């Protein structure tokens, strides 16, 4: 009897503690509107990040509740580019939150994205910056050119000549995977040569992404999955395919650079090694390069292509500019592309209209809190970015924010252009957390649209259902069926 009373008393105390804790958490952010259940439970946020439409759920929350909205007991999301810049600038007191713990592709090893210790992050970033920028990669542009031509040849020889449609969702990622693997350690995976997902990387990431994105809301899941009991569920270098296979390649390539007979090569990894990272740090960065350098750039290519193909005015103007500038054959140079104003406008508008990263990337409000535009943000609060909302904020983009209109970049005044550039650049992060691979990604974009549209007439097989697109922080796009027909060689 006494034991039962003791257990009942303990249960009551636990219930009271839980209720008090929940109420306290609710009250500290009660002044910021959001979905009613979000103040008491993480369920709304879990459903949003795991439901395949993260970008839209967060955008709709900001549309309904304001540019700063509550989406969890301790979570806010913002569509205000000024707040995003405030959180990301070089001297910001904001820090990466535990959201980033789930960014470890290898749960036992941090990378330049997942690292939350500011001093350690700055040190690791300095070792990686030159390699990611491509400045120390031998024949960087020539390698990208070779892969652009490999994509063209694949489409022409296997599909155009046979009058067959192709899934551009897959072909775009074969291209970006081959580019980044070629630049990272001197040899492409061979996805385009074989017209296949050689290491089953794409299918593995699509399967694993929902777990990773849930772990950004429930960071303790990373520790659970890393325990011996659940270790069988996470990728292993012993795996024959998938992310585990990429881990094995990373270890093998890193071992060649750090072993007794050190292999020296002027690629991204060679640049890293020259600046003194540990072998395990190098392995982790190779994994990050593959994911960060392929998934997001592939999305930018797919989405921008869709907008160009769907808009005859834009396509005509782009082809007219290609014809006028008559760029180098067989592949336009990066310098030529940067000098083409309408092409640059198309690329910027593509990144604006369809930001490739839609995960929260949540930062933590500094101790003591912060006040932004009259809103008090308590210390320790996680604030994520609504990329879709930033890209459609009417204060920046006006009443035509929903329209794909590259002309806005050509017509804008110098002052307005600076504002727009500052907002669209947030696609690559900002300040101390700006994407290290930005230059390489832009070089790919500068080339691929010109080379595809001056060679082929491209049309959607089913315009009513152009693709299957889902989002778990990053986008997965497949069933993106296109037919291509040859144009006169060399002319737009």
pLDDT digits (tens, 9 = 90+) for 231-290: 666 666 777 666 777 778 778 878 888 877 777 888 888 888 888 888 888 877 877 778
**Is residue 1 very low, low, confident or very high in pLDDT (cuts 50, 70, 90)?**
low
| Axis crossing angle, helix 279-309 with helix 118-133, rounded to the nearest 10 | 60
Task: Supply the pLDDT for residue 222.
Answer: 76
Distance CA 432, CA 112 (A): 11
30-486 folds as Cytochrome p450 (1.10.630)
Using the predicted structure, report yes or no on whether residue 104 has a pLDDT greater than 50: yes
CA angle 417, 418, 423 (to 5 degrees): 95
Higher-pLDDT residue of 314, 251: 314
Highest mean pLDDT among 7-21, 65-79, 122-136: 65-79
Q: Which of 111, 30, 48 is nearest to 281 (CA)?
A: 111
Count Cβ atoms below 10 Å from residue 469 Cβ, excluding itself: 20
pLDDT digits (tens, 9 = 90+) for 482-492: 999 999 755 56
- For 348-404, what is each residue's pLDDT tens digit? 999 999 999 989 999 999 999 999 999 999 999 999 999 999 999 999 999 999 999
Say if residue 467's pLDDT is above 80.
yes
| pLDDT at position 201 over 90 | no
φ/ψ (deg, to 5) at 227: -70, 155
pLDDT confidence of residue 21: 55
The mean of the pLDDT values for the chain is 89
Task: Enter the pTM of the model.
Answer: 0.92
Give pLDDT, residue 52.
92
Q: Which residues pair with 384 in a beta bridge?
A: 77
Percent pLDDT > 70 in the chain is: 90
Residue predicted with more confidence, 467 or 9: 467
- In our burial notation (b when 16+ CB lie closer than 10 A, e otherwise), range 203-239 reads ebbeebbbebbbbbbeeebbeebeeeeeeeebbebeb
Structure confidence by residue, pLDDT tens digits, 148-196: 999 999 999 999 999 999 999 999 999 999 999 998 877 899 999 999 9
Considering the chain, what percentage of its residues have pLDDT values greater than 90? 62
Q: How far is CA 396 from CA 80, 261, 383, 453, in A?
A: 10, 55, 21, 30
Three-state SS string over the chain comes to CHHHHHHHHHHHHHHHHHHHHHHHHHHHCCCCCCCHHHHCCCHHHHHHHHCCEHHHHHHHHHHHHCCEEEEECCEEEECCHHHHHHHHCCCCCCEECHHHHHHCCCCCCCCCCCCCCHHHHHHHHHHHHHHHHCCCCCCHHHHHHHHHHHHHHHHHHHHHCCCCCEEHHHHHHHHHHHHHHHHHHCCCCCHHHHCCCCCCHHHHHHHHHHHHHHHHHCCHHHHHHHCCCCHHHCCCCCCCCHHHHHHHHHHHHHHHHHCCCCCCCCCHHHHHHHCCCCHHHHHHHHHHHHHHHHHHHHHHHHHHHHHHHCCHHHHHHHHHHHHHHCCCCCCCCHHHHHCCHHHHHHHHHHHHHCCCECCCCCEECCCCCEEECCEEECCCCEEEECHHHHCCCHHHHHHHCCCCCCHHHHHCCHHHHHHHHHHHHHHHCCHHHCCCCHHHHHHHHHHHHHHHHCCEEEEECCCCCCCEEEECCEEEEECCEEEEEECCCCCC
Q: What is the pLDDT of residue 433?
A: 84
pLDDT at 311: 97
Per-residue pLDDT for 16 more than 80? no
Q: Is residue 13 over pLDDT 70?
A: no
Is residue 406's pLDDT more than 70?
yes
Show me where the domains of the chain are located. 30-486
Q: Which residues pair with 96 in a beta bridge?
A: 363
435 among annotated binding-site residues: yes
Question: What is the spatial order of strands in the sheet that 68-72 belongs to?
Answer: 68-72, 75-78, 382-385, 363-364, 95-96
Better pLDDT: 303 or 280? 303
Q: Are 109 and 284 in contact (CB under 8 A)?
A: yes
pLDDT of the residue at 17: 47
pLDDT of residue 232: 62
Could you tell me the CA-to-CA distances from 463 to 132, 162, 303, 466, 481 in Å, in that order? 37, 22, 14, 5, 9
End-to-end alpha carbon distance in the chain: 88
């Amino acid at each position: 009897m006494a034991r039962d009373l003791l257990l009942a008393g303990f249960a009551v105390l636990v219930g009271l503690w839980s209720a008090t804790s929940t109420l306290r958490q609710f009250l500290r952010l009660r002044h910021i509107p959001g979905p009613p259940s979000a103040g008491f439970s993480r369920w709304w946020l879990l459903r949003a990040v795991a439901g395949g439409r993260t970008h839209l759920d967060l955008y709709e929350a900001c549309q309904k509740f304001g540019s700063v909205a509550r989406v969890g007991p301790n979570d806010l999301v913002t569509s205000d580019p000024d707040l995003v810049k405030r959180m990301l600038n070089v001297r910001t007191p904001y820090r990466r939150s535990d959201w980033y713990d789930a960014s470890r592709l290898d749960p036992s090893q941090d990378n330049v994205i997942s690292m939350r210790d500011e001093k350690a992050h700055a040190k690791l970033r300095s070792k990686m910056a030159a390699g990611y920028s491509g400045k120390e990669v031998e024949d960087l542009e020539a390698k990208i050119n070779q892969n652009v031509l490999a994509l063209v040849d694949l489409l022409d020889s296997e599909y155009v000549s046979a009058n067959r449609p192709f899934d551009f969702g897959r072909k775009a990622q074969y291209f970006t995977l081959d580019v980044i693997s070629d630049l990272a350690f001197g040899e492409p995976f061979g996805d385009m040569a074989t017209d296949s997902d050689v290491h089953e990387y794409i299918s593995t990431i699509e399967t694993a992404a929902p777990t990773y994105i849930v772990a950004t809301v429930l960071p303790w899941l990373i520790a659970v999955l890393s325990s011996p009991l659940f270790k069988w569920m996470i990728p292993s270098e012993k795996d024959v395919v998938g992310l585990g296979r990429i881990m094995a390649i990373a270890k093998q390539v890193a071992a060649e650079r750090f072993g007794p007979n050190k292999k020296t090569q002027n690629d991204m990894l060679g640049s890293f090694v020259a600046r003194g990272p540990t072998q395990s740090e190098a392995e982790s960065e190779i994994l990050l390069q593959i994911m960060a350098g392929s998934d997001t750039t592939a999305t930018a290519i797919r989405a921008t292509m869709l907008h160009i193909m769907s808009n005859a005015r834009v396509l005509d103007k782009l082809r007219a500019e290609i014809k006028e500038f008559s760029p180098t054959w067989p592949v336009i140079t990066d310098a030529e592309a940067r000098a083409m104003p309408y092409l640059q406008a198309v690329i910027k508008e593509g990144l604006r209209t369809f930001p490739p990263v839609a995960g929260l990337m949540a930062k933590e409000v500094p101790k003591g809190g912060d006040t932004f535009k009259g809103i008090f943000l308590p210390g320790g609060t996680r604030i994520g970015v609504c990329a879709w909302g930033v890209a459609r904020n009417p204060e920046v983009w006006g009443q035509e924010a929903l329209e794909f209109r590259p002309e806005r970049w050509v017509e804008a005044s110098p002052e307005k252009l600076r504002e727009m550039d500052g907002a669209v650049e947030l696609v690559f992060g900002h300040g101390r957390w700006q994407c290290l691979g930005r230059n390489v990604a832009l070089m790919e974009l500068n080339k691929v649209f010109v080379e595809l549209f001056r060679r082929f007439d491209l049309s959607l097989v089913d315009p009513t259902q152009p693709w299957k697109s889902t989002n778990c922080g990053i986008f997965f796009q497949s069933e993106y069926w296109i037919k291509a027909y040859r144009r006169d060689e060399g002319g737009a």
